[in-house]
Structure 1
Amino acid sequence: MKFSHKTLLILLLLASTFVFGQTPGFNYQALILNTKEIQIPGTDVLENQVPLGLEEIALRFTITNEAGTEYIEEHTINTDENGMVSVIIGEGTPINNTFYDINWDGKLKYLNVELNILNNNDGFVFLDSQKILYIPQPENGNGNRNGNIKIVNSLGDLSPPFQLGDIIWLTNYGINNTPSLMIWDDTKWIPINDDFDPTNEFGLIVVNNDSFRDIQFKDPVTGDQVWNQTCKCIEIFDGTHWVSSKNTEAINGLYTNGDNIKLGGILIEPTIITTDVSNTFAIAGLLESTNTEDKIIVIDKSTGVLRQKPTSTFLQKKQVVIIAYEGQIDFTTPLNITNTDKIDVYRNGVRINFTAINTTTIKLEREAKCYQDDKIRIVQFY
């Protein structure tokens, strides 16, 4: 059966162990899988599951920290019949600096792996970037390596002086009282591994800025994530660009205050709030207006847009002046009567009472019966 791999190069890390001897280093074992189209008669073969056996390859290892590259070395080696390789990082051909130049200060570093299948003539291809933390075995005062690490229950059990690079095993460290390997950084004891919560194994690579991010992710794939200390945000690769989790802005009536989004920003576009019988809209706690010049909010009957109007436009009036004849008490109003509270009647400038006879006629109280040429003024509000 013939097939072709979709993934060009696959590398599976099987083990990483410390090796102590004449040359400090650590063991790196990997399974290299075949990338070429092959034919296996009568066999159903899953893609990317055939080892690259008995093939000459080159591996390039680059050790970096947040400041940049510390060390590069290369190995040329043949895979065995099962596609396995095993090398000691530290014993390869140095390309940049030497293994002894690496400052193993207990801080997190990264191992970047590149593979070159020599017969393919494709050159080195980036495979993976992994967190590493390697502490060489300390030496005693005579320059001989001493494999004994002191075990203490608390830092108070230790007595100075301490030397840069001294290592201890602390049985209780941090808020979870987790055992931890500690190193003396010439000022204080610091943990070699800050993972104090073994139940939470989700972690992000932490970088100082975009440049170091690009070093760690030379060929990022969609979904890669990183914590960028410059923007203080998680960045996610969307297949083309690194997208920040802080790209969301508070706009159109909202604003940000630290990590909070609050109401009170400037509207930059028409905004509609839709209500129904169940989901109504209310503003509680409004102060009472005492200013006669304050305006009133009205709703446009066609669009529902809120508008403002002066109070004077809400109360208009119409009045008529009638010269009365002797004994007259009935008068016609200037408008149809809808509410007698909106009508005031004056006789010779004095306000008098009345009753409505119908929708257009009022009747003065009996005591207000007119004399000839009395002036009756009817003021009607609407």
Structure 2
Amino acid sequence: MKFSHKIRLFLFLLTNTLLFGQTPGFNYQALILNNEEIQIPGTNVLENKVPLGLEEITLRFTITNETSVEYIEEHTISTDENGMVSLIVGEGIPISNTFYDINWDGKLKYLNVELNILNNNDGFVFLDSQKILYIPQPGNRNENRNGNIKIVSSLGDLSPPYQLGDIIWLTDYGINNSPSLMIWNDIKWTPINNDFDPTNEFGLIVVGNDSFRDAQFKNLVIGDQVWNQACNCLEVYDGTQWVSLRNMKAENGLYTGDNKVKLGGILIEPTLITTSATNTFAFAGLQESTNTEDQIVVMNKSTGVLKQKPSSTLHQKKQVIIIASDGQLEFTTPLNITNSDKIDVFRNGVRINFIAINNTTIKLEQEAKCYQDDKVRIVQLY
């Protein structure tokens, strides 16, 4: 089983939400995925895209207009156990200019994101460039940074004239009658949270449970993805059903438990483990067997296939032939006596009875007393 820790691909989600207070900025949430090869027999984890959990990273945000860089900042943060990060762009460590220096004139800007996995020592990797439109507050950007936003229930409650960059909070907007922050773009009121370019990002939606998920996705498309808080997992629609990492299939000697892949299960296909002088295979901590009926594991010398064999078939023997003297009854065994049943005694080819008088000596029955030059053969199994 091999797990590789280098990261090659990261998919992320950007959400823009205006914050008003001492420090202006907007929310950034990301799901960091580990797309490096992870080899587990019987399970293609590579296709499942495992989240990169509990990893320290640095995110660098660069905000540009059509011609130049307006602001750069960095955040060093750790992903949670599910690979998620959440921060506010505007509250990082400034690298170039300050967040207040950005000229929020209502025109389109770009948010460029780079990421550095600190444990990899690979430096920053460019992730994506997304379009953003963000105005901290209406009017002069150098006045009243904590200015109030007018709250209305419909656009009919407003009275012109409007200025470019004016913003309002509309409590009832769209087919879902959802509250939305709106901006005047010099032509009409438009929601600030609109996705200006949905083709260049990983648009991950977060839902509380399956019911909310199904309500969000009326017209399902293969590849739709969602973070489901009920199962605490990433789900992907495969054209028939929602498939999640929590319910990933493990087989051929593996199973899943507590959202983890574990060893133990039924082999459903021939499985070969190849070792070498360097890459050996061993078991430690095995219990000692005291049951004489336990089976012994043997290996086919040609195929390497493991099989079991009764221990009784693996007994070996040692024998000794003694030329007896007249009247001799006691003889020394070739090995220490551990079990009398493992000893056979023959006098002149005829098996005779005996008793063990100590751990190295046997005594023949009285009727089997030897004559001079009788041959006594003692066969002892071990």
- TM-score, normalised relative to structure 1: 0.41
- TM-score, normalised relative to structure 2: 0.41
